[in-house]
């Protein structure tokens, strides 16, 4: 009897970022990482997640650097994390942090 296929994906360093929550860094001129991570979140991350989902893994393990640190406030960090979670998670593929 053939065993059912079991697979999972391990990803890390997604560094999801929304510049809206990092205005104090922008005001201080700290923008290199912000620009790169914001661009990646808008242009690469969605396609990357879609590609992983196309493999239909049993689950996804996110190994670290889920969001970028340094939000303007704790509430901004929570908002940024919720945005990232909504992008990364799906009912079909559980996500473990």
**74 backbone dihedrals φ, ψ, rounded to 5°:** -65, -40
Task: Give the residue among 26, 11, 23 at the shortest CA–CA distance from 87.
Answer: 11
- Predicted confidence (pLDDT) at residue 18 exceeds the cutoff of 70: yes
How confident is the model at residue 1, as a pLDDT?
A: 64
Structure tokens at 59: 């689950």
- Predicted confidence (pLDDT) at residue 69 exceeds the cutoff of 80: no
- The domain ranges of the chain are 8-96
Please state, rounded to an integer, the average pLDDT across all residues of the chain.
Answer: 87
How confident is the model at residue 72, as a pLDDT?
A: 92
CB 23 within 8 A of CB 59: no
pLDDT band for 92, please (50, 70, 90 cuts).
Answer: confident
How confident is the model at residue 74, as a pLDDT?
A: 93
CB 70 within 8 A of CB 57: no
Angle subtended at Cα 5 by Cα 3 and Cα 10, rounded to the nearest 5 degrees? 140
């Amino acid at each position: 009897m053939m065993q059912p296929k079991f697979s999972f994906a391990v990803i890390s360093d997604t560094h999801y970022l929304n510049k809206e929550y990092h205005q104090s860094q922008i005001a201080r001129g700290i923008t290199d990482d912000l620009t790169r991570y914001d661009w990646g979140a808008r242009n690469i991350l969605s396609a990357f997640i879609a590609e992983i989902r196309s493999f239909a893994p049993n689950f996804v393990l996110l190994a670290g650097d889920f969001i970028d640190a340094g939000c303007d406030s704790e509430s901004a960090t929570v908002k940024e994390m919720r945005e990232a979670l909504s992008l990364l998670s799906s009912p079909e593929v559980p996500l473990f942090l």
